[in-house]
Amino acid sequence: MKDGKLILENGEIFEGKIFGCIAEASGEVVFNTSLCGYQEILTDPSYYGQIVIMTYPLIGNYGTNNEDCESEKVQAKGLIVGSYEDEWSNFEGRQSLNDYLKKNNVTAIAGIDTRALTKMVRTQGSMRGIITGENISEKKLLQKVLNVPEISGANLVPFVTANENYIVSSENPKYKIAVYDFGIKKNILREFLKFDIELKVFKADCDYKEILDYKPDGIFFSNGPGDPAAVTYGIENAKNLIPSGVPVFGICLGHQLISLALGAQTYKLKFGHRGGNHPVKNHDINKIEITSQNHGFSVNEKTFDNPDIVITHTNLYDGTNEGIRHKKYPVMSVQYHPEASPGPNDSKYLFTEFMKIVSKN
């Protein structure tokens, strides 16, 4: 490990030890409250452009493996941990987190007071930061941080979407689902493949006509990174697909794009929702779900100017919107991650609900 530091745009500096790739990392500094699942978090494309603080103090103790990746590489720009453990133990393990980060050219820093850092982010909001081992003045370091691009207004989807359209399928597919890839997690595909379906995954900027030419029985809008309002092509395609009558389902960024297409507005949360312990109320059945979340933007449900929009889910931490459905069209979407990985399985029923709509339709 090499001496290093984390500097935030408010001028605060935290000293620690750099591990993984010994280089510089910059991005929006956010925190995740999950107790485990660091490999799934690091490889989730929704974290593109961000440096992730793990609030759980001990990270690395179960190493990494070949099965728990949510994409083909580490998507987060950096990792911040309190205590890093290089001596790992796990029957599925293949290598240490340190070696895994080196292989993926990602920089991490340990020995940080993650409690103090997280409280600072909660109080002042998510902010830009840099992990570096460079020995330059604090003034120059701060200037470098202020030059890091902001997430607001950024369309980061082109960095994580598929290069080409592709198909994955169950053995005897009964239905066809068109999937918009804005940065899809592998576990979403795994959950869908539990049903008798063929999934055709389309690049994020594919025109809606190409989707309809596939003659799908359902359409899915995936999760992804960045500011939803900047993904204008996704919003326009949703506007054209919703009235088609083909069932539509969205998760996270997909939920935001569908909501924007239906006339709502989105806004940036102060510090976002990231973790596996967020309580959400399902208004349809009057029950609480403990959910997995990862988003920095939210839908302002008060901006819906359409009596056909039904608010289905609400976050019990802060009252923000977590889900909608449409009375006229077979459209449903949620802000959280029912596929989990990591996180609880309370909300996996949503895939079954959507497939029932597909079957009925």
- Same domain membership, residue 323 and residue 262: yes
- Same domain membership, residue 178 and residue 82: no
Angle at 282 between CA 30 and CA 157, to 5 degrees: 40
What is the value of pTM for the model shown? 0.96
Residue 6's domain comprises 2-146
Q: What pLDDT is attached to residue 181?
A: 98
Which amino acid belongs to residue 1? M
Q: Residue 42 pLDDT > 90, yes or no?
A: yes
d(CA 47, CA 156): 10
Angle at 219 between CA 279 and CA 301, to 5 degrees: 40
d(CA 8, CA 27): 10
Average the pLDDT over 12-39 and give the result.
97
CATH number of the domain encompassing residue 168 = 3.40.50.880
Q: What pLDDT is attached to residue 1?
A: 84
Q: Residue 287 pLDDT > 90, yes or no?
A: yes
- Burial (CB count within 10 angstroms: exposed 0-12, middle 13-18, buried 19+), residue 130: buried
Q: Residue 307 pLDDT > 90, yes or no?
A: yes
Residues with Cβ within 8 Å of 136's Cβ and at least 6 positions away in sequence, in order, are none
Q: What pLDDT is attached to residue 229?
A: 98
Average the pLDDT over 28-47 and give the result.
98
Q: Residue 183 pLDDT > 90, yes or no?
A: yes
Are 14 and 113 spatial neighbours (Cβ–Cβ below 8 Å)? Answer: yes
- Same domain membership, residue 320 and residue 356: yes
**For residue range 66-123, what is the model confidence (pLDDT) as tens digits?**
999 999 999 999 999 999 999 999 999 999 999 999 999 999 999 999 999 999 999 9
Residue 40 belongs to some domain of the structure = yes
Residue 317 belongs to some domain of the structure = yes
**For residue range 319-352, what is the model confidence (pLDDT) as tens digits?**
999 999 999 999 999 999 999 999 999 999 999 9
- Same domain membership, residue 128 and residue 246: no
- Same domain membership, residue 208 and residue 354: yes
d(CA 335, CA 197): 24
Q: What pLDDT is attached to residue 30?
A: 98
Residue 337 belongs to some domain of the structure = yes
Whether 69 is catalytic: no
- Same domain membership, residue 203 and residue 290: yes
**For residue range 158-180, what is the model confidence (pLDDT) as tens digits?**
999 999 999 999 999 999 999 99
Kindly state the tokens that stand for 167. Answer: 């198909």
- Same domain membership, residue 169 and residue 279: yes
Beta bridge partners of 248: 219, 331
Residue 46 belongs to some domain of the structure = yes
Whether 337 is catalytic: yes
d(CA 348, CA 298): 21
d(CA 82, CA 124): 20
For residue 61, what are the CA distances in angstroms to 35, 82, 129?
12, 13, 26
Residue 107 belongs to some domain of the structure = yes
CA atoms within 13 A on the CB side of 138: 9
Whether 36 is catalytic: no
d(CA 252, CA 180): 13
Residue 152 belongs to some domain of the structure = no
- Same domain membership, residue 138 and residue 9: yes
From 252, 278, 295, 301, active-site residue: 252
For residue 52, what are the CA distances in angstroms to 22, 79, 254?
17, 5, 22
d(CA 256, CA 128): 23
Residue 151 belongs to some domain of the structure = no
CATH number of the domain encompassing residue 104 = 3.50.30.20
CA atoms within 13 A on the CB side of 41: 29
- Same domain membership, residue 102 and residue 196: no
Domain end position, chosen among 146, 167, 192: 146
Domain end position, chosen among 123, 146, 169: 146
DSSP, residue by residue, 182-229: SS--HHHHHHHTTSSEEEEEEETT--HHHHHHT--SEEEE----S-GG
Nearest Cα to 31, choosing from 55, 47, 7? Answer: 55
- Same domain membership, residue 258 and residue 139: no
- Same domain membership, residue 226 and residue 97: no
Angle at 321 between CA 318 and CA 325, to 5 degrees: 155
Instruction: Indicate the number of domains in the chain.
Output: 2
Domain end position, chosen among 92, 124, 146: 146
- Same domain membership, residue 76 and residue 14: yes
